[in-house]
Amino acid sequence: MNSGTGPGTITPDGSPVEFYTLLPPGEEARVIAAATPPNGTVLELGSGVGRVTHPLLEAGLEVVAVDESAEMLAHVRGARTVCASAQELDLGERFDSVVLASYLVNLPDAALRHELLASCARHVAEGGSVLIQWQPPEAHDQWAAGRGSERDGVGIMMTELEEISPGTFAATMRYTAGERVWTQSFQSRRLTVDDLAADLARAGLALDGFLTEDRTWARAVPA
């Protein structure tokens, strides 16, 4: 379970809302848009404050943003929003792309991973894609306390890292913006490609390949 401290609102999973409103967009939206048909539909599970949602809308995609935090969703503009847990979601709709970002598939709880992937499977259209951001094993192996980066005045650093059981890690991140500081703790499971494929198969999905050279984005399709 994540935990967080710092100024402003902290969601139940430990995410500092104010920090995520300051975090600049990354490459996620570009990857998702390239894998989605033009003017297609996207179900974004765990959308947060819309850091990825808004660039997807600008790319001409129709987005439904799902998050269990109403405080996060209050910052989303232009998309239909649904306040719900991703694993329990059942909209009775299908989408061209279902997005599971934020490395949620690396959660240590195998049952919860299955529930998340099952939610993806019941919402993806025939011929559609489930787009998964994950930590491939080689990326996980490079984690180290003291490593970080800064972009546009926003800093991110891993301050603590411990392997609490074989393949399961507990880490703490330190986020900064000016004089503001937040910390967020979480646990992550080291998964191999075979592990990921097996989890997908259990949910009725098949691994279809990787969308980026670093393999941090995987595509799955209905099996």
152 belongs to a structural domain: no
Q: What is the pLDDT of residues 41-67, one digit of tens each?
A: 999 999 999 999 999 999 999 999 999
Q: What's 33's domain CATH number?
A: 3.40.50.150
- Give dist(CA 150, CA 58) in Å, integer: 25
- Is there a domain that residue 104 lies in? yes
Q: Rounded to an integer, what distance in angstroms lies between the CA atom of residue 100 and that of residue 199? A: 14
Decide: 200 and 31 in contact? Cβ < 8 Å. Answer: no
**In this structure, is residue 209 part of a structural domain?**
yes
**Is 207 a member of any domain?**
yes
Closest-CA residue to 31 (of 216, 206, 191, 223)? 216
The model's pLDDT over 183-194, given as tens digits with 9 standing for 90+, comes to: 999 999 999 999
Residues with Cβ within 8 Å of residue 74, at least 6 apart in sequence: none
State the average pLDDT for the chain: 95
User: DSSP assignment of 144-193, as one string?
Assistant: -TT-EEEETTEEEEEEEEEEEETTEEEEEEEEEETTEEEEEEEEEE---H
Instruction: Decide if 170 is inside a domain.
Output: no
Domain count, the chain: 1
Contact residues for 149 (Cβ-Cβ < 8 A; gap 6+): 155, 156, 157
Please report where in the chains the tokens 């503009």 appear, as a residue. 77
Give 110-169 pLDDT, tens digit per residue. Answer: 999 999 999 999 999 999 999 999 999 999 999 999 999 999 999 999 999 999 999 999
Residue 1 has pLDDT above 60, yes or no: no
Please write the tens of the pLDDT for every residue from 66-120.
999 999 999 999 999 999 999 999 999 999 999 999 999 999 999 999 999 999 9
| Tokens 């009725």 belong to residue | 204
Position 67 in a domain: yes
